[in-house]
Amino acid sequence: MRPAILVSVLLLGCSDLGVAPAASVDATPDADAAPPVDLLAQWAGCMSRAGWEAARMGAWASKPSSLGTICSDCHADGLAFFNANPSSDAMLETNRTARFVTGFFTLTTDEETGEPDIAPAWSKLSAKGEGQNNHPLFAVGPGERYFQSLEAFARATREARDAGTCDPPR
């Protein structure tokens, strides 16, 4: 096939991708519009020390693995963007930052409203516990006590968010 024909075929095939041409994009945002919300930063601002301690989230630092190690042996300083510092206070403060909030939480869609939301990162944590990327094995699942702690902390954080009692987004 000749190059000119190939380019024409490619352009024709790509013409209906649903992308508006640059000329039709309104480059002037509405001055009264609220700025976009970084949901993870907002969530991090809602993560309270009281909720963290009540849920015993600091115990994740001592969660045992199949190698006879505990999470903090590798993740005390945030290896692979997961922080499990032996100091519960340091662990909370680190996990409230943009770089580490996704260690325990992820963006999702609320099943009832269809709106973006935050939820515990069950899939990621379960995959690691099941040995993804040669990670040491650890107990996973809804009945597992560390997962129950995360669920309790997520519930407390959601309640703070819904009540509007959060610190500013981090």
CA–CA separation, 139 vs 162, rounded Å?
Answer: 31
- Flag whether 140 is in a domain: yes
CA–CA separation, 97 vs 134, rounded Å?
Answer: 26
**Domain extent for 56:** 36-163
pLDDT at 33: 57
The span from the first CA to the last CA of the chain, in angstroms, equals: 55
pLDDT at 170: 79
Split into its structural domains, the chain has a count of 1
CA–CA separation, 47 vs 154, rounded Å?
Answer: 8
Question: How far, in Å, are 24, 69, 129, 163 from residue 66 at the CA level?
Answer: 57, 7, 9, 40
- Flag whether 25 is in a domain: no
DSSP one-letter string for 109-164: E-TTT--EEEEE-HHHHHHHHTTGGGPPP---STTSHHHHHHHHHHHHHHHHHHHT
- Flag whether 68 is in a domain: yes
Per DSSP, 107 falls in state E
**Block mean pLDDT (10 aa), the chain, length 170:** 44 40 47 69 96 98 97 97 97 95 95 95 97 96 95 98 92
Q: What is the dihedral of CA 165, 148, 96, 36, to 10 degrees?
A: -60
- Flag whether 14 is in a domain: no
Q: Please give the model's pTM, rounded to 2 decimal places.
A: 0.78
- Flag whether 1 is in a domain: no
Neighbour-count burial for 128-164, b at 16+ CB within 10 Å, e otherwise:
bbeeeeebbebebeeebebbebbebbbebbbebbeee
- Flag whether 98 is in a domain: yes
Element (H, E) at 105: strand 105-109
- Flag whether 52 is in a domain: yes
